[in-house]
């Protein structure tokens, strides 16, 4: 039984199946600052699509669990699923990637999450619906070295109190936090005990503003304000513009790792970055080294459909780092 073995990396968060629908007849409309973009299709019409592809066992936390497993950690996922065929296929997919499924709760009579991804160009809009699960931390679970907390549905609010109690009970656990939409809406004040215990915190630029309830655009100020919430290391990603990390002493910036070809699908790029950064820290790397690791896995992921197919092994990632072009430089700002 896996329950008797160590857990280096326990990801906590919702799992889903993503059904990708590749659109060919759509438009994207943005404001003058190229922000607040909207995907537009003709209303009341039949819209042709190129193809559809179903990707199992995804979501921020499952993606992180798979990433950690491929990078060499003993990895497990704590989540809930329904007692349906979709749930069985999700569990089988995780097992193939050596992610322990012992702590996945099967809830009778409930569906496993299933999302629709409207995929246009290299980006996507996701239609989501979170089932209402009765989340809980298993009593027989060995204490993990790291807990990676990410996206869960609205019915998980009280479960976050369980997580807080658990990490208080086990101060030796290190926490990584990549908040999802609902966790951001819960507010930093509501989840202050998680922020205070967080070793590595991740969000993108827009999420940073929402968490802090600000219109501030200065990244260094955003990093400082997030750091004031408690995390030891804060990282903000800015899509193709690169990423930042701050530990209270130094601020570092990394450009994106140059793609070998144009991105095919950007789904999971942020998850790849955050989980790879966390694994690097867990394996004893410095913040600067971790910041150089993250974009490599993000680059690999966006070459494929879905968030997991392109995730690298540690050996593959190290080869990319050795072969990095001269302009891939991490710099202090």
Q: How would DSSP label each residue in 154-216?
A: GGGHHHHHHHHHHHHH-TT-EEEE---HHHHHT-TTTTHHHHHHEEEEEEEHHHHHHHHT---
Q: pLDDT tens digits, residue range 74-129?
A: 999 999 999 999 999 999 999 999 999 999 999 999 999 999 999 998 788 989 89
Q: Residue 168: count other Cβ atoms within 10 Å of its Cβ.
A: 11
Give the pLDDT score at 262: 78
249 within 8 A of 284, measured Cβ to Cβ: no
Give the pLDDT score at 323: 95
Q: Residue 127: count other Cβ atoms within 10 Å of its Cβ.
A: 11
Task: Please tell me the pTM assigned to this model.
Answer: 0.93
Domain range annotation of the chain: 2-14+59-112+132-332
Give the pLDDT score at 3: 44
- Mean pLDDT, the chain cut into blocks of 10 residues (333 residues total): 73 96 92 84 93 96 98 98 98 98 97 95 87 93 97 95 98 98 97 98 98 97 98 96 97 92 82 98 98 97 91 98 94 95
On whether the 2-14+59-112+132-332 domain is CATH 3.40.1190.20, my answer is yes
Exposure string over 54-93, b if 16+ CB within 10 A, otherwise e: ebbbbbbbbbbbbbbbbbebbbbbbbbbbeeebbeebbeb
Q: Residue 45: count other Cβ atoms within 10 Å of its Cβ.
A: 8
Burial class of 169 by CB neighbour count within 10 A (0 to 12, 13 to 18, 19+): exposed
User: In whole angstroms, what is the distance from residue 194 CA to residue 233 CA?
Assistant: 14
């Amino acid at each position: 039984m896996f329950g008797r073995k160590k857990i280096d990396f326990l990801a906590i968060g919702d799992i889903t199946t993503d059904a990708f629908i590749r659109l060919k007849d759509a438009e994207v409309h943005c404001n003058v600052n190229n922000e607040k973009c909207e995907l537009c299709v003709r209303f009341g019409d039949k819209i042709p699509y190129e193809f559809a592809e179903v990707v199992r066992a995804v979501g921020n936390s499952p993606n992180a669990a798979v990433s950690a497993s491929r990078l060499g950690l003993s990895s497990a996922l704590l989540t809930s699923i329904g007692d349906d065929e979709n749930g069985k296929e999700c569990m089988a997919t995780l097992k193939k990637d050596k992610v322990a499924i012992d702590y996945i709760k099967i809830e009778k009579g409930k569906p496993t999450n299933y999302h629709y991804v409207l995929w246009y160009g290299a980006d996507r809009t996701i239609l989501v619906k979170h089932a209402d699960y009765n989340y809980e931390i298993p009593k027989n679970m060995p204490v993990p070295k790291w807990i990676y907390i990410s996206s869960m549905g609205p019915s998980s609010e009280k479960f976050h109190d369980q997580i807080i109690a658990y990490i208080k009970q086990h101060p030796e656990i290190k926490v990584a936090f990549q908040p999802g939409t609902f966790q951001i809406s819960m507010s930093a004040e509501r989840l202050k005990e998680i922020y205070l215990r967080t070793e590595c915190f991740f969000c993108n630029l827009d999420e940073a503003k929402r968490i802090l309830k600000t219109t501030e655009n200065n990244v260094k100020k955003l990093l400082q304000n997030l750091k004031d919430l408690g995390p030891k290391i804060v990282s903000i990603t800015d899509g193709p513009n690169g990423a930042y990390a701050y530990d209270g002493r130094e601020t570092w910036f990394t450009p994106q790792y140059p793609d070998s070809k144009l991105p095919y699908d950007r789904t999971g790029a942020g998850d790849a970055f955050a989980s790879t950064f966390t694994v690097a820290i867990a394996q004893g790397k410095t913040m600067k080294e971790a910041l150089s690791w993250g974009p490599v896995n993000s680059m690999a992921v966006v070459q494929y459909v879905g968030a997991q197919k392109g995730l690298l092994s540690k050996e593959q990632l190290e080869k990319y780092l050795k072969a990095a072009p001269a302009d891939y430089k991490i710099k202090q700002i």
